[in-house]
A and B are shown apart, each in its own frame.
Chain A
Amino acid sequence: MDIQTWTFIIVGATFSLYIGIAIWSRAGTTKDFYVAGGAVHPLFNGMATAADWMSAGSFISMAGMIAFLGYDGSVYLMGWTGGYVLLALLLAPYLRKFGKFTVPDFVGDRYYSSGARMVAVFCAVFISFTYVAGQMRGTGIVFSRFLNVEIEIGVVIGMVIVFFYAVMGGMKGITYTQVAQYCVLIFAYLVPVIFISIMMTGTAIPQIGFGSTLEDGTYLLDRLDGLSEELGLVMYTSGDKPMIDVFFITAALMIGTAGLPHVIVRFFTVPLVRDARTSAGYALIFIVLLYSTAPALAAFAKVNLVDTVHNVEYSEVPEWFTNWEPTGLVEFNDLNNDGIIQYSGDPAVNELHIDPDIIVLANPEIANLPNWVIGLVAAGGLAAALSTAAGLLLVISTSVAHDLFKRTLKPNLSDKNELRIARVAAGGAVIVAGYFGIHPPGFVAQTIAFAFGLAAASFFPAIILGIFYKKMNKEGAIAGMVAGVVFTAGYIIFFTFIRPDLNNAENWLFGISPEGIGTLGMLLNMAIAVVVVRFTKEPPQHIQELVENIRVPGKRT
C-alpha cells in the first residue's frame, strides 16, 4: 500500500478511537468536567500528563532543533523534564490537598482577593491561547503534509475532533483520550528511531546506540563533531551559547513547566495527596521515554542527512529530498552552479536550507523505512498536538466558567448552569484557537519565550510563596505577579517586536536572551512580594490556617 492509504487508515483509526472514548466518558457534573471527578488512577494521570505536556513542538520540532543546536539544545531536554521535579516536590501534593478546581482558584482563595483571581485568570487565558494557537497550526501542518489537504482544512478537522471530546467530556473525556494519545504518540516516536538505531549502530536501544560506534568503527558523536568541524558548524558536543544564557534558559523552562496551568490542573484529578506525588513520577517516566530518545534521534538523523545529501549531485538526490522540496522544508540553491549540493556553516557557501521539522517528519523516508511507519508518524504528531490543545482549551473554559462566572460574577449559579457555561466556553475557545491556527498571530513564533516566561514570572512564585510563606499576603502576591509579568513581557516584546535588530547578546540584560528572562522575572516577582509584605497587613487568621492545612496530607480542618 502507498503512504497516503496507510496514513488515512492509521489516522482514521486513531481518530475513531478518540471519539469512541469521548462518547464513553461524558461529564455529568462540574466536578467531572473540571477534574474528571477527582478519581483518575495515578498511572493514567501520569500518561495523560505526559500527552498533555508533550506538544506538537516536542514531537515534531524538538529533535530537529537539537540536531542543529547540538549541546545547546540540552536546554530543552533539561528544562522540560527538570520542571517535573519542582512540580512533584513543591506544588502537586499541596495543590491536591487544597482540592479545588483551577489554578486561579488557588490564587484567589489563598490571597483572599478577587483582584488576585482576575490577574491569575488573565495570565492563564493568555498563556493558554499563545500555546494553543501553535497546536492548531501544528495539526494543520501535519494534515497538509501527509494527507495533501490545505492547512486550513487540517485545522478545521482538528477543531472538530477536539470540540467533540473537550466539550462533551470536559476533563474526564480529555483525560482518557490523552491516555490513548500518549500510547499512539510514544509508539509513533519510538518505532522509527529503533529501526534507525539498529541500522546505524546495531543496537535496538537508541539511548545506547547514541554512544556507540558506526559501521566504520568511529563513535557516532565523534563523527558528528568531525562533521561539524569539516563543515564549519558549531561543535556538536559543546555548543556555543554563553553559559549564563544556557543556565537561565534552562531555569526559565523548568520553572515555566512547573507553572503552566494545564499541567498543574492534571494533579487535581487524582484522589489523594500521595497519588499526586507518585503521579508526577509516572508522568516524568513517560516523558523521559521520548525526551531521552530525542537527542539520539537528532544525532542519527544529522549524520544520515549530511551523508545522503552533502556533496551529492542534485540529479542523484534520494527520493525523499524531491518529495519534501514542494513543502519548502528543504531547499537547494545552487550558488556556484556546479549541480552539487554543498552544505556548510558558512552562509556564503551553504546551498542547503533545512527546516528542523524535517528531522522527525521525513526521518522514516530518509532511513528508507516501510510506508506504514510514515503513516504512524503522522498519527503521532496529531496525537501530540490534539492532546495538548485539549488540555489548554480546558484551562480557558474553566477559567471563564468557574473563576469568572461562578466565583466572581454570579456566585449563586447552579451546578447545571455552570456546566452549561463551561461547555459553551470550551466551544468558544475551540473556535478562537482554530482562528489563530489559520491566521497565526505574530507572537506564535515566540510561544516558548512567552508561555514559559510568563508562567515562570507569574504563577510559579505566587503559588510557591502561598504554600511555603504563611505570612504572604494579597498585596505582596499581586504586586509580585504584576511586576513579574510586566517585566518579562516587556523584555520579550521589546526584543522580538519593537527592536528585533538589537536582539543579540551585547544588548541583553546580563547576557540573558528573551527565552531565559522568565527566570529573572520570577526572582523579581519574589523579591517585590517579600518587600511589599513587610509594609502591609498580615493575612487573616483563616488564611494562615488554610496554609497550615494544605501542608499536611491527612490533616482535617
Chain B
Amino acid sequence: MDEKYQEYWKRNLTILVSLLIGWFVFSYGLGILLAEPLNSIRFGGFKMGFWFAQQGSQYAFIIIIFIYVYMMNRLDREFDVREE
C-alpha cells in the first residue's frame, strides 16, 4: 500500500518538474533572459521578447495549469486515489 503512494508521489514530482520548466522558459527565459535577441524577430507590430513579457507568458501560464489539472486527474484515477 505504502509503495503505491510512494510511486504516486514520484510521478507527481515528475509532472511538477516538467511543468515548472515550462513555466520558467515562457516567463524568465523568453520574456527576460532572451528578450533582447528575440526582439529582433517580429510578428505584426509585436517584437517577440516584448510580446512574451507582456502577453505570451500569461497565456502560457494558463495552459500550464490546465495541463497540470488534466495530468493529475489522470494520475489520480490510475492510482485510484480520486476523492469521491
Q: Which residue numbers of A lie inside 8 Å of B, CB to CB?
A: 66, 71, 73-74, 77-78, 81-82, 84-86, 88-90, 93, 207, 210-213, 219-222, 237-238, 243, 246-247, 250-251, 272-274, 277-278, 280-281, 284-285, 288, 291-292, 295, 548, 551-555
Contact = CB atoms under 8 A, between A and B. Distances in A.
A222 B47 CA distance: 10
Given A211-B46, A243-B32, A288-B58, A84 B53 contact: no
A238 B39 CA distance: 8
Given A81-B61, A88-B68, A274-B76, 11 more contacts: A66-B54, A71-B35, A71-B54, A85-B65, A211-B46, A219-B44, A220-B45, A221-B47, A250-B27, A551-B5, A553-B81
A237 B53 CA distance: 10
B62 A71 contact: no
A281 B58 CA distance: 12
Interface string B27-58: 11001110110010001111100110111011
A71 B45 contact: no
Contacts of A250: 27-28, 32
Contacts of A274: 69, 72-73, 76, 82-83
Nearest to B51: A211
A240 B31 CA distance: 15
A285 B44 contact: no
A237 B47 contact: yes
A554 to B, nearest CB: 4
B5 A548 contact: yes
Contacts of B32: 78, 243, 246-247, 250
Contacts of B19: 85, 89
A78 B16 contact: no
Given A74-B54, A250-B32, A213 B76 contact: no
Interface residues of B, number: 45
A243 B33 contact: yes
Contacts of A284: 61-62, 65
A552 B80 CA distance: 10
B69 A78 contact: no
6 contacts: A82-B57, A213-B45, A220-B45, A221-B50, A246-B32, A281-B62
Contacts of A553: 76, 81-83
Contacts of B84: 554
B55 A292 contact: yes
Contact of A221 (B33, B46, B64, B65): B46
Contact of B65 (A84, A291, A552): A84
B65 A88 contact: yes
Nearest to B43: A211
A84 B79 CA distance: 26
A553 B84 CA distance: 10
A77 B57 contact: yes
A552 B28 contact: no
Nearest to A222: B45
A214 to B, nearest CB: 9
A207 B45 CA distance: 11
Contact of B36 (A82, A88, A238): A238
- Report which residue of A71, A272, A273, A548 has the largest number of chain B beta carbons within 10 angstroms of its beta carbon: A71
B82 to A, nearest CB: 6
A277 B68 contact: yes
Contacts of A71: 35, 50, 53-54
Contact of B31 (A78, A278, A288): A78
B65 A554 contact: no
Closest 10 CB pairs of A and B: A219-B45, A74-B53, A554-B81, A211-B45, A281-B65, A295-B54, A211-B44, A237-B50, A211-B46, A288-B58
Nearest to A223: B45
Contacts of B46: 210-211, 221
Contacts of A82: 23, 27, 57, 61
B19 to A, nearest CB: 6
A506 B79 CA distance: 54
Contacts of B58: 77-78, 81, 288, 291-292
B36 A77 contact: no
B5 A555 contact: yes
Interface string B4-33: 010011001000100110010001100111
A553 B59 CA distance: 28
A542 to B, nearest CB: 16
B18 to A, nearest CB: 11
Nearest to B1: A555
Contacts of B73: 274
A221 to B, nearest CB: 5
B61 A212 contact: no
A85 B23 contact: yes
A554 B62 contact: no
A295 B20 CA distance: 25
Contacts of B76: 274, 553-554
A37 B47 CA distance: 48
Nearest to A272: B83
